[in-house]
Amino acid sequence: MTMTTYSMKRILGESYPVLILCAILSLSAGLILHSQLESIKTLPLILVMVPPINGINNNVCSILGSRLTSALHIGTIEPKFGKQAILRKNIQATWIMSLGVFIFTSVIFFALSLISGINLLKSLTIMIAFFLASMAAIGVTMFCTIWLAFTSFSKGLDPDNVVIPIVTSIGDIAGVTCLIIAMKIIGV
């Protein structure tokens, strides 16, 4: 048991399975994007939207994931869905945090569309589509984050090595998928 805490073998052994899973998840996100190549060609701005939606989504949910695992270990949150004041507060805070950031980015996209010569109405639609997509993505990723935090606590998995990598990969898929669905629905 000595010297194993930070041994190369352990780091690799713990990380490889998770990283391979993450690679597969993120690759799927890329493939989903690729399958929509035709629509993207008509509105290249979508490509600009991918990094912000994924980045913000993943960061916000990673913060939540790491707060939750701490709270589970200390015992202020119990590993079950349902009425829990502290769990609710964490979820609310995450919503408010992402709401602020996404409203800010939506407005920037509105400006970008206008600058790139898209008319006012369409720019407005693009802005709304991006905003709705980001909110949906946050919802999905947040749910997965909570579930993963509960599971990692019940099974004694390393929260940093498991929860956060998987959360970010799920965030990638959720971000891309929600973005494309939103653009389709609004008919951009």
Nearer to other proteins by C-beta: 167 or 188? 167
CB of 3 to other proteins, least distance (A): 16
Nearer to other proteins by C-beta: 72 or 101? 72
HSE (CB half, 13 Å, CA atoms) of 71? 22
CB of 12 to other proteins, least distance (A): 21
Nearer to other proteins by C-beta: 72 or 127? 72
Rounded to a whole number of angstroms, the CA Rg of the chain reads 19
* 40-76 burial code (b ≥16 CB/10 A, e <16): beebebbeebbebbbbbbbbbbbbbbbbbbebbeeee
Amino acid making up residue 136: A
CB 76 within 8 A of CB 54: no
Rounded to whole angstroms, how far apart are CA atoms 43 and 187? 11
Nearer to other proteins by C-beta: 9 or 80? 80
Residues that bind other proteins (CB under 8 A): 66, 69-70, 72-76, 78-79, 153-156, 159
Block residue for tokens 């979508």: 46
CB of 8 to other proteins, least distance (A): 22
CB of 100 to other proteins, least distance (A): 23
Nearer to other proteins by C-beta: 15 or 66? 66
CB of 84 to other proteins, least distance (A): 12
Nearest-10 crossing angle of helices 120-155, 45-74: 30
CB of 161 to other proteins, least distance (A): 12
Nearer to other proteins by C-beta: 41 or 80? 80
Rounded to whole angstroms, how far apart are CA atoms 11 and 77? 29
